[in-house]
Chain A
Amino acid sequence: MKKLKEALEAGEFTITAECGPPKGTDIAEMLEHAKHLLGKINAINVTDNQSAVVRIGSLPVCRLLSEMGHDPIFQLTCRDRNRLAIQSDLMGAHILGIKNVLCMTGDHVSAGDHKTAKPVYDLESVQLLQTVAALNGGHDLAGNEMKGATNLYQGAVVTPEANPLEPQMLKFEKKVKAGANFFQTQAIYDMDNFKRFMDRARKFNVKVLAGILLLKNAGMANFLNKFVPGITVPQGLIDRLKAAGKEGALDCGMDIAAEQVRIIKEQGIADGAHVMAIGLENKVPEILKRAGIA
Chain B
Amino acid sequence: MIVSKAKERQDVINMLEGVSSVFLLGCSECASLCGTGSPEALAEMKESLESIGKKVTGMFVAKTGCQVLGTKVELKANKEEVDAADAILVMSCGAGTQSMVEVFKDKKVYPANDTAFLGNMTRFQHFDERCSMCGECIIDKTGGICPVTTCPKGILNGPCGGTNNGFCEVSPDIECAWAKIYARMERTGELEKMKQIIPPKDYSKKLSPKVFVIEKKKEEK
- The residues of A with any CB-CB pair to B shorter than 8 Å are 79, 83, 105-108, 110-111, 119, 121-127, 130, 141, 157-159, 162-164, 166-168, 170-171, 173-174, 177-178, 186, 229-230
Report the separation of the CA atoms of residues A126 and B153 in the bound assembly, to the nearest whole angstrom. Answer: 13
What's the minimum C-beta distance from B196 to chain A, rounded to whole angstroms? Answer: 8
**Contact pick for B200, options A83, A106, A164, A173, CB 8 Å:** A83
Could you tell me if B162 and A229 are in contact, using CB atoms closer than 8 angstroms?
yes
Report the separation of the CA atoms of residues A121 and B201 in the bound assembly, to the nearest whole angstrom. Answer: 10
| 15 A-B contact pairs sorted by A residue (CB < 8 Å) | A105-B155, A108-B153, A108-B170, A124-B160, A130-B199, A158-B161, A163-B163, A167-B182, A168-B158, A170-B194, A170-B195, A173-B195, A174-B157, A177-B197, A186-B161
Given A124-B155, A159-B161, 11 additional A-B pairs, CB 8 A:
A106-B153, A107-B162, A121-B153, A121-B154, A124-B154, A124-B157, A162-B163, A163-B165, A164-B166, A229-B163, A229-B169
B152 lies within 8 A of chain A by Cβ: yes
**Contact pick for B158, options A121, A141, A174, A186, CB 8 Å:** A174
Instruction: Given A121-B154, A127-B199, verify A170-B182 contact (CB < 8 Å).
Output: yes
Could you tell me if B197 and A130 are in contact, using CB atoms closer than 8 angstroms?
yes
Instruction: Given A107-B162, A126-B197, A229-B164, verify A171-B169 contact (CB < 8 Å).
Output: no
Report the separation of the CA atoms of residues A178 and B199 in the bound assembly, to the nearest whole angstrom. Answer: 11
B179 lies within 8 A of chain A by Cβ: yes
Could you tell me if B153 and A105 are in contact, using CB atoms closer than 8 angstroms?
yes
Q: Please report the total number of B residues contacting A with Cβ < 8 Å.
A: 30
Contacts of A173 in B (CB 8 A): 195
Could you tell me if B170 and A127 are in contact, using CB atoms closer than 8 angstroms?
no
Report the separation of the CA atoms of residues A119 and B113 in the bound assembly, to the nearest whole angstrom. Answer: 25
Could you tell me if B159 and A171 are in contact, using CB atoms closer than 8 angstroms?
yes
Report the separation of the CA atoms of residues A159 and B179 in the bound assembly, to the nearest whole angstrom. Answer: 14
Q: Closest residue of chain A to B183, judged by CB?
A: A164
Report the separation of the CA atoms of residues A284 and B162 in the bound assembly, to the nearest whole angstrom. Answer: 26
What's the minimum C-beta distance from B73 to chain A, rounded to whole angstroms? Answer: 40
Q: Which chain B residues (173-203) contact chain A, with CB distance < 8 Å?
A: 178-179, 181-182, 191, 194-195, 197, 199-201, 203
What's the minimum C-beta distance from B129 to chain A, rounded to whole angstroms? Answer: 16
What's the minimum C-beta distance from B173 to chain A, rounded to whole angstroms? Answer: 12
Contacts of A230 in B (CB 8 A): 161-164
Contacts of B171 in A (CB 8 A): 110
Instruction: Given A121-B154, A124-B154, A124-B157, verify A108-B199 contact (CB < 8 Å).
Output: no
B13 lies within 8 A of chain A by Cβ: no
Report the separation of the CA atoms of residues A170 and B200 in the bound assembly, to the nearest whole angstrom. Answer: 18
What's the minimum C-beta distance from A142 to chain B, rounded to whole angstroms? Answer: 10
**Contact pick for B161, options A79, A166, A178, A229, CB 8 Å:** A229
B156 lies within 8 A of chain A by Cβ: yes
Report the separation of the CA atoms of residues A163 and B164 in the bound assembly, to the nearest whole angstrom. Answer: 6
Report the separation of the CA atoms of residues A167 and B200 in the bound assembly, to the nearest whole angstrom. Answer: 20
Report the separation of the CA atoms of residues A277 and B182 in the bound assembly, to the nearest whole angstrom. Answer: 34
Contacts of A177 in B (CB 8 A): 197
What's the minimum C-beta distance from A223 to chain B, rounded to whole angstroms? Answer: 14
Contacts of B169 in A (CB 8 A): 108, 111, 229
> Which 7 pairs, one residue from A and one from B, show the smallest C-beta to C-beta distance?
A171-B158, A229-B164, A126-B157, A167-B182, A159-B161, A124-B155, A167-B159
Contacts of A170 in B (CB 8 A): 158, 182, 191, 194-195
Could you tell me if B161 and A123 are in contact, using CB atoms closer than 8 angstroms?
no
Q: Closest residue of chain A to B147, judged by CB?
A: A124
Q: Closest residue of chain B to A107, judged by CB?
A: B162
Report the separation of the CA atoms of residues A162 and B159 in the bound assembly, to the nearest whole angstrom. Answer: 9
Q: Closest residue of chain A to B158, judged by CB?
A: A171
What's the minimum C-beta distance from B179 to chain A, rounded to whole angstroms? Answer: 6
Report the separation of the CA atoms of residues A174 and B193 in the bound assembly, to the nearest whole angstrom. Answer: 12
